Chain A
Amino acid sequence: MRKVKVGIIGCGNISSTYLKNLKLFKAVDLVAVSDLDMEKAEAKAAEFNIARVLSTEKMLKDKEIELIVNLTVPKVHKEVALAVIKAGKSVYNEKPLAITREDGKMIIIAAKKKGVLTGCAPDTFMGAGIQTVRKIIDSGKIGKPVAATAFMMGCGPEGWHPNPDFFYKKGGGPLLDMGPYYITALVNLVGPVRRVTSSARITFKERITGSGPKKGAKIKVEVPTHVAGVLDFKSGAVGTMIMSFDINASGLPRIEIYCEKGTISVPDPNTFNGPVKVKIGNGEWKDVPLAFGYSENSRGLGVADMACALRSGRKHRASGELAFHVLDVMQSLEEASKKGKHIILASTCERPAVMVRGLKAYEMEK
């Protein structure tokens, strides 16, 4: 297969994992990096041995590059994605797809018009952990899912992050920051969401930066930091979800899927790994061996999958359609609390295809 030439825009914190992994995936030829700060881009290019450093404009004009990985901050996801699409290239956004439903929709529609693909992180659901859970569900051995719980109970990133302000501004908050991992995993496992309701609250009006040069600086909180939601899936299953930056300690499991005959304990959807556990009735929790590859940190897997899809014409898994539905779920959760009513979702999506088993390292097809 001819490799797909890929460029990265945005060389911030998350870029290192992408740079490392995209050099290894067989379907990808990572040829260029870009950043508003050219020095930052050059440093990354040197570190990861990338052939070219380009300004964003030049990267978009480069005829050979077919796919751009958009690792900019959430607020500019839309702008960068639309520019990429306009240049006739497929685009893969870091999560979330965009910070509003309207922005997300513009990206999807523009890509469809232009005949290019849209992809979006997270791709953790393609990892060994969640795929093994999916296999258990699809096998029917413990029956259909009837309910689920998903909890991200954190105390907020200001304790360790040197620059935590954006977590508490529009486009931040626990829901947009961590929700994509949890909701994408749930949609992959249980299918699309039909209706949501919630209560979302700004618990503390101010947060204090806890480390780094800004230590002691106050952050004004603009987005809900505790979002307690209920998701009705199309399948009839009911999900209870909490995304919070307000919790110091909890004994809650991360994700549990309650099926007709037993329950699956789902691993952290912010990783690719296990453990996956199943409990039938009064029996013990039993570890289920992972049945798929990609259990280590494989961020970029969704990009490689999209590169394969570009060549073969098949659908890619971490698709814009999936990411748009997840964004719609998140925005609807916030709206439900504000409007005091349940929101019936206008969007939907298909469950992405299951991963292929027995793959060689860094390949997506047999």
Chain B
Amino acid sequence: MKKVKVGIIGCGNISPIYLKNLKLFKAVDLVAVSDLDMKRASIKAEEFSIPHVFSPENLLREKEIGIIVNLTIPKAHREVALASISAGKSVYNEKPLAVTRNDGEKIILAARKKGVLVGCAPDTFMGAGIQTCRKILESGLLGRPVAATAFMACPGHESWHPAPEFYYQKGGGPLLDMGPYYITALVNLLGPVKRVTASAQISYKERLITSQPKKGKRIKVEVPTHVAGVLDFKAGVVVSLITSFDVKASALPIIEIYCEGGTIAVPDPNTFGGPVKIKKWKENAWEEIPLAFGYAENSRGLGVADMACALMSGRKHRASGDLAFHVLDIMQSLHEASVKGKHIILESTCAKPAPMKTGLKPFELEK
């Protein structure tokens, strides 16, 4: 099978899982890594046996490379993506697509003009867990979905992360950090969003770092750390969403989808696996549903492999720029709804990505 040559820009914390997996996907030929810090790039290249280490500029000049995986920090997503597109390459961003709607739109428009593809993490919705939920929804077993809840409620990251400042600065916050997993999963399951409203608050003006090596340092909080929203989906489903760094403990489930004939407990959308549970109308117990798809383990990069297949066959890819832009639009609209004190009708929309195929061989996307 033909492969698409891929290069990675950004060799930070998230890169090892991409490096590991992109070496295994059959549609991908991972040929080069790059980082502003060349030493960091060299170390990763050695660790994962990648043939080339380039500066970002030189990587973009490589004729053979078809996809750039952009693993830079969110603030730099736009700049790196636009440079990749300008070099005639398709680009796959780590989440979020960009830190503002305007930046996201620039990326989408530039790619369309240039005739290249834009993809974006998360690709966890392509995993076995969420795909199994989608199959249950579309089977009609439980009837139509009518409402849902999605909660990411945690105490923040200053007690364990060695450098947690960015979580509380522009481009951070629980919504931009974790929202993409939850909202992308919901859009995949329920379709696009029509209207949102929210209250988004900075509960603490400062956070105190208690992890090493910055223990005792204070962080000035620039972004809301508790975002409580309500999303009206085009299909009529009403979804209550919380993303929070201000909750010390809770018994909230992660995602529940309420259907006419019962409820689906959706697994953590920051993972690829299960468990998927359903509780049917008038039954007392939750029933675990066996996963019906592959990719239950950490398969980050699956979206890149899918985009590589799409590049070769001309079909649509699942973790697309359109999906990521709609998710970014939702997130920014949630923040705006709270500031403006009004509901925001979304201007963007997207199609539900195609369901995954069942019975695939490991690291393949087509039969």
Which residues of chain A have a CB within 8 Å of any CB of chain B? 146-147, 149, 153, 155, 195, 197-199, 201, 203, 226, 228-232, 236, 238-240, 242, 244, 246-253, 256, 258-263, 265, 279-283, 285, 336, 340-342, 344
Q: B203 touching A147 by the CB < 8 A rule? A: yes
Q: In the complex, what residues of A have CB within 8 A of residue B204's CB?
A: 146
CA distance A279 to B250 in the complex (A): 8
Q: A250 touching B228 by the CB < 8 A rule? A: no
Q: In the complex, what residues of B have CB within 8 A of residue A285's CB?
A: 251
B325-354 contact mask (Cβ, 8 Å, vs A): 1 or 0: 000000000000100011101000000000
Q: A265 touching B197 by the CB < 8 A rule? A: no
Which residues of chain B have a CB within 8 Å of any CB of chain A? 146-147, 149, 153, 155, 195, 197-199, 201, 203-204, 226, 228-232, 236, 238-240, 242, 244, 246-253, 256, 258-263, 265, 279-283, 286, 337, 341-343, 345
- The answer to whether A199 and B279 touch (CB under 8 A), given A226-B238, A228-B240, A340-B195, is no
CA distance A311 to B262 in the complex (A): 52
Q: In the complex, what residues of A have CB within 8 A of residue B261's CB?
A: 248
A223 to chain B, nearest CB (A): 15
Q: In the complex, what residues of B have CB within 8 A of residue A342's CB?
A: 197, 199, 337, 341-342
Given contacts A201-B232, A228-B238, A250-B253, 13 further A-B contacts (CB under 8 A): A147-B203, A147-B242, A149-B242, A226-B146, A228-B230, A230-B199, A247-B263, A256-B252, A261-B248, A342-B197, A342-B199, A342-B342, A344-B341
- The answer to whether A197 and B337 touch (CB under 8 A), given A280-B248, A280-B249, is yes
Q: A252 touching B342 by the CB < 8 A rule? A: no
Q: In the complex, what residues of A have CB within 8 A of residue B201's CB?
A: 232, 236, 238
Q: A249 touching B228 by the CB < 8 A rule? A: no
A345 to chain B, nearest CB (A): 13
Q: A252 touching B247 by the CB < 8 A rule? A: no
Q: A146 touching B281 by the CB < 8 A rule? A: no
- The answer to whether A248 and B279 touch (CB under 8 A), given A199-B238, A240-B240, A342-B341, is yes
Q: Which of B149, B155, B282, B341 contacts A252 (CB 8 A)?
A: B149
- The answer to whether A201 and B341 touch (CB under 8 A), given A242-B149, A248-B263, A256-B251, is no
A195 to chain B, nearest CB (A): 7
Q: In the complex, what residues of B have CB within 8 A of residue A265's CB?
A: 251
Q: A248 touching B258 by the CB < 8 A rule? A: yes
Q: Give B149's nearest chain A residue, CB to CB.
A: A252
Q: In the complex, what residues of A have CB within 8 A of residue B229's CB?
A: 230
CA distance A64 to B256 in the complex (A): 56
Q: A203 touching B197 by the CB < 8 A rule? A: no
Q: B252 touching A146 by the CB < 8 A rule? A: no
Q: Which 8 A-B pairs have the closest CB atoms?
A: A249-B279, A279-B249, A341-B342, A342-B341, A340-B343, A249-B263, A263-B249, A197-B197
A244 to chain B, nearest CB (A): 7
Q: Give B151's nearest chain A residue, CB to CB.
A: A149
- The answer to whether A238 and B199 touch (CB under 8 A), given A147-B244, A281-B248, A341-B343, is yes
Q: Give A282's nearest chain B residue, CB to CB.
A: B249
Q: B247 touching A147 by the CB < 8 A rule? A: yes
Q: In the complex, what residues of B have CB within 8 A of residue A282's CB?
A: 249
Q: B252 touching A252 by the CB < 8 A rule? A: yes
Q: A250 touching B256 by the CB < 8 A rule? A: yes
Q: A230 touching B198 by the CB < 8 A rule? A: yes
Q: Give B248's nearest chain A residue, CB to CB.
A: A262
- The answer to whether A146 and B226 touch (CB under 8 A), given A240-B240, A249-B262, is yes
Q: Give B282's nearest chain A residue, CB to CB.
A: A248
Q: A195 touching B199 by the CB < 8 A rule? A: yes
Q: B197 touching A198 by the CB < 8 A rule? A: yes
Q: In the complex, what residues of B have CB within 8 A of residue A281's CB?
A: 155, 248-249
Q: A251 touching B248 by the CB < 8 A rule? A: no
Q: In the complex, what residues of B have CB within 8 A of residue A280's CB?
A: 248-249
B179 to chain A, nearest CB (A): 15
